[in-house]
């Protein structure tokens, strides 16, 4: 039994940073993201009923470090299927892995869909979503395309759906790579440290509800200026909460800060662009289509920026690995 799937990473404009206590992998807050069509994870899962051990190959290399996360993701699928045997997972990213570019989101979304396809369960989107969530709190967003909302109520019931397709508001994204290689503190440990030790965590959590409601309204109205203001504020509040942790978490390097300044200068000059930054030093600039060349050129000239990758918003995860 085997199945394969392709999923894109996503970048959150209203971010998830902190889990619900004692609720498995459930985020403590909703989030809103853009699916990035110019990066992809392609994953194949084979279940061998003869037995043996689960195995993960990531970007062509055997990987035991992320095997537990893979098993967590497959668990909801396995509990629905009679005998699955050992899983052999082969996953490839066409973009830097573990560097704050949401490879865990696209990775767990592709794995959930590939595993469900292998087991004949792909027609159950709720189950695929639960498998993605068990792997990574940002992964259900990568099952959907365009502008994606993940909402969670006070009881911990969650749902995830696309608000607008890429065609309905075709924003562009430029990613400034300021550092290659793995980030220092992975998101899971970083958000847990923030929740446990940062005096700013409660304030961060308290601001999420209105940010999410306001960002939804801005997306519905295609109000770029409002979405820019909300996204930059939400991003910097997440990092402020992380910087308040003990020991402090600083995901920025010098070039990250210079990119922030450059994007703000471009916006002051009238270019429709804003920045957002996840748990790593890379900077994502979101802009209207006509601004993309100027934004990419300007970021490419910031000292310390190694390269700029850019493109369109992407669609939903899909079976197959074209």
Euclidean distance between CA atoms 3 and 240, whole angstroms: 41
Cβ proximity to ligand 2P0: between 117 and 136 the closer is 136
Say which residue the tokens 């749902």 belong to. 159
> What x-and-dash track marks residues 228-267 binding ligand 2P0 by CB under 6 A?
----------------------------------------
Window of 79-87, 90-98, 132-140, 314-322 that interacts with ligand 2P0 by CB under 6 A: 132-140
What residue ranges in the chain does DSSP mark as E strands? 2-7, 10-14, 31-35, 41-48, 55-58, 61-62, 86-93, 147-152, 158-164, 172-177, 273-276, 283-287, 307-312, 318-319
Supply the minimum distance, in Å, between the C-beta of residue 137 and ligand 2P0. Answer: 3
The answer to whether 151 contacts ligand 2P0 (rule: CB under 6 A) is no
> What x-and-dash track marks residues 14-53 binding ligand 2P0 by CB under 6 A?
-xxx-------x-----x----------------------
Q: At what angle do helices 103-118 and 67-78 cross, to 10 degrees?
A: 40
Supply the minimum distance, in Å, between the C-beta of residue 17 and ligand 2P0. Answer: 6
State whether residue 67 is helix, strand or coil.
helix
Q: Which residue is nearest to ligand 2P0 (CB)?
A: 137
The answer to whether 9 contacts ligand 2P0 (rule: CB under 6 A) is no
Kindly determine how many residues on this chain lie close enough to bind ligand 2P0 according to the rule CB under 6 A. Answer: 16
- DSSP letter string, 152-187: E-TTS-EEEEEEE-TTTS--EEEEEE---S--SS-H
> What x-and-dash track marks residues 269-298 binding ligand 2P0 by CB under 6 A?
---------xx-------------------
- DSSP letter string, 93-122: ESS-SSSSS-HHHHHHHHHHHHHHHHTT-T
Neighbours of 197 (CB within 10 A): 14
Cβ proximity to ligand 2P0: between 93 and 187 the closer is 187
- Cα Rg, the chain, nearest whole Å: 19
Q: Is the CB of residue 230 less than 8 Å from the CB of residue 286?
A: no
DSSP 12: E
CA 300 vs CA 258, 269, 304: distances in Å: 11, 18, 9
Identify the residue among 7, 8, 9, 12 touching ligand 2P0 (CB under 6 A). 12
Residues 99-118 that bind ligand 2P0 (CB under 6 A): 102, 104-105
The answer to whether 188 contacts ligand 2P0 (rule: CB under 6 A) is yes
Identify the residue among 6, 138, 162, 231 touching ligand 2P0 (CB under 6 A). 138
Supply the minimum distance, in Å, between the C-beta of residue 124 and ligand 2P0. Answer: 22
Distance of CA 165 to the CA centre of its chain: 17
Cβ proximity to ligand 2P0: between 241 and 298 the closer is 241
| Structure token pair of residue 81 | 């299927």
| Structure token pair of residue 231 | 């996204």
Cβ proximity to ligand 2P0: between 195 and 262 the closer is 195
Euclidean distance between CA atoms 103 and 99, whole angstroms: 8
Window of 97-105, 115-123, 154-162, 219-227 that interacts with ligand 2P0 by CB under 6 A: 97-105
The answer to whether 7 contacts ligand 2P0 (rule: CB under 6 A) is no
The answer to whether 201 contacts ligand 2P0 (rule: CB under 6 A) is no
The answer to whether 187 contacts ligand 2P0 (rule: CB under 6 A) is yes
The answer to whether 136 contacts ligand 2P0 (rule: CB under 6 A) is yes
Residues that bind ligand 2P0 (CB under 6 A): 12, 15-17, 25, 31, 102, 104-105, 136-138, 187-188, 278-279
């Amino acid at each position: 039994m085997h199945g394969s799937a392709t999923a894109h990473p996503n970048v959150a404009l209203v971010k998830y940073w902190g889990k619900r206590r004692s609720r498995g992998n459930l985020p403590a807050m909703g989030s809103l993201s853009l699916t990035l069509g110019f990066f992809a994870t392609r994953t194949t899962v084979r279940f061998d009923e003869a037995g043996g051990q689960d195995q993960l190959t990531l970007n062509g290399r055997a990987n035991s470090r992320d095997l537990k996360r893979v098993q967590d993701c497959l668990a909801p699928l396995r509990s629905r299927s009679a005998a699955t045997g050992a899983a052999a997972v082969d996953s490839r990213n066409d973009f830097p892995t573990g560097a704050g570019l949401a490879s865990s989101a696209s990775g767990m979304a592709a794995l959930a869909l590939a595993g469900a396809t292998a087991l004949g369960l792909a027609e159950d989107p709720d189950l695929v979503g639960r498998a993605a969530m068990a792997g990574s709190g940002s992964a259900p967003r990568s099952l959907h395309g365009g502008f994606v909302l993940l909402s969670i109520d006070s009881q911990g019931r969650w749902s995830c759906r696309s608000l607008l397709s890429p065609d309905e508001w075709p924003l562009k994204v430029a990613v400034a790579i300021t550092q290659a290689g793995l980030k220092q503190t992975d998101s899971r440990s970083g958000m847990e440290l923030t929740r446990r030790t940062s005096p700013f965590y409660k304030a961060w959590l308290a601001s999420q509800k209105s940010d999410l409601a306001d960002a939804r309204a801005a997306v519905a109205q295609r109000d770029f200026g409002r979405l820019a203001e909300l996204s930059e504020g939400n991003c910097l509040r997440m990092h402020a909460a992380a910087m308040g942790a003990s020991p402090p978490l600083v995901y920025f390097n010098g070039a990250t800060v210079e990119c922030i300044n450059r994007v703000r200068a471009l916006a002051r000059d009238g270019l429709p662009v804003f920045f957002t930054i996840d748990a790593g030093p890379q900077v994502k600039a979101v802009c209207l289509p006509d601004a993309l060349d100027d934004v990419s050129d300007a970021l490419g000239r910031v000292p310390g920026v190694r390269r700029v990758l850019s493109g369109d918003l992407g669609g939903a995860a899909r079976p197959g690995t074209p």
